[in-house]
Amino acid sequence: MGSVAPRETAKANVLVVGSGGVGTMVAYALEKGGRANVTAVLRSNYSAVEKGGFTINSLDHGDIRGWRPTQIRNTVPNVSLEGNAVIQPYDFVVVTTKNIADISPRVADIIAPAITPGYTAVALIQNGFNIEKPIIAAFPNNPVISGISYIGATEGPLGTIKHDDHDEIAIGAFDNPNIPSRVSESAARRFFDAYIACQNVSCAYKPDVAFWRWKKLLYNASFNTVATILRMDTSRMRVSEHVVDNLIRPIMYEIRAVAKAAAGVELLEEDIERMITIDTFQTFFKPSMLQDIEKGNFIEFENIVGEPLREAERLGVSTPTLKVIYGLLKAVQWQTMEIKGLVQVPQFNEPGLKYGSKQPRVIL
């Protein structure tokens, strides 16, 4: 892929950034397939995994105790030099963290120390639209891979993974205009080969990356966002039919209109109906964004709603429901920023202080 000579070993050298539920199952599948050695970057769960490994209760793999990837770390390694040990270049840096595009540090900044220019391929197993653009801007000569995951996997307590929905993933190459398409496609194919080597997963190579991203946005821009605003699981949303009729379905129609205008992607009525019924009544499922806000975490709304909305405005596509949802989600994010001390709001009951005389200060 570049000036760095490939190592003789047939196994890919892989760094996984974000080892919660999804990231751990990605690391496990890659190692189980036998075509990758994985280094996993852990944060809050590092001590638990260092001590006892991962406990995984998996629909696809069974019950696993004390599992660790080839290596675990609590920081992103610097491939140039760390102490006296030179780290081998990573063939792939796989990002499975939430994409919080409006809060520092951004994804490109987090992974930068692990990237070898012109060599390392970045695999983004993340939700949303235009997620590849900041990565290409930061690493213009590196391939960027799209991963659309439909897995259900959560962590709790630390180091314990509940994997209760099959590991299904669509892999393809994002277009990087700075390098030949064959280079990007070759990298995506090699990552696909490493993933599908695990016979317990369902993995498909999808050259039409745009279609699969917009199709998943039907769900994420609607159920994921509305659940967060209303603090409501998908079963209750479907039982209270007005939520589906007045919010979920209109958002899906708006996403379909933007997809066609922006990328020529044709999403069908049956795609919309399938997404509306994808979560059964019995699950009382809380989408990931709702789970994040309940934990006091930031939410990844910019690439799920903000980017499609900005694309709609650029192309003159009417998206009134998305615009309201986006405004509400920005307010939700603002509340979390204040709780975490990133926003300082003046106390307007200070003696002599008039409304508007002091503005909130954002610390980022």
Domains and CATH numbers, the chain: 12-207 (3.40.50.720), 211-339 (1.10.1040.10)
Express each pLDDT in 1-30 by its tens digit. Answer: 444 444 445 799 999 999 999 999 999 999
- pLDDT above 80: residue 360: no
Alpha helix ranges (H) inside the chain: 21-33, 46-52, 107-111, 132-138, 181-196, 209-219, 225-230, 234-239, 241-243, 249-263, 269-276, 288-294, 307-315, 320-339
Q: What is the pTM of this model?
A: 0.91
8 Å CB contact between 47 and 55: no
8 Å CB contact between 225 and 219: no
Calculate mean pLDDT across residues 124-153: 96
pLDDT band at residue 361 using 50, 70 and 90 as cut-offs: low
What percent of the chain clears pLDDT 90, i.e. is strictly above it? 84
